[in-house]
Amino acid sequence: MITYSTKGTCSKQIVFDLDDEKRIHNLKFIGGCSGNLQGISRLVEGRKAEEVVPLLKGIRCRQNTSCPDQLARALEEQLNPQA
C-alpha cells in the first residue's frame, strides 16, 4: 500500500496499490468530497498509472491544484522515484 500526503486539497491522503505492471488498485482518498473521489477511484481502477497521469495532471481547484492533480503527482512519484 502506497500512501501519499496531499498538499493544497481537502483530502489529506491518497492510498493505493500498484501492481507489477503499474496498474492502479484499491485507490482511496482520505477526506475530501466523497462522491467525486469515489468516482475517480472507480474510473482509474486497473488502469496503468502512465495512462492516468496525463489525464489528471494540471486539473485545478483550490490553491492551484486538485485531488485529481494530487493523484497524478503521487503516481508520478512512483513512476519516477528519482525525480
Measuring CA to CA, which residue among 79, 75, 67 is closest to residue 6? 67
Whether the per-residue pLDDT at 2 is higher than 80: the answer is yes
What is the model's pLDDT at position 13? Answer: 98
CA angle 82, 50, 30 (to 5 degrees): 80
Q: What is the pLDDT of residues 4-58, one digit of tens each?
A: 999 999 999 999 999 999 999 999 999 999 999 999 999 999 999 999 999 999 9
- pLDDT tens digits, residue range 53-72? 999 999 999 899 999 999 99
Please report the pLDDT score of residue 56 as a whole number.
98
Residue 83 pLDDT more than 80? no
pLDDT for the residue 48: 98
CA dist., res. 83 & res. 68, Å (int):
20
3 state SS of 59: coil
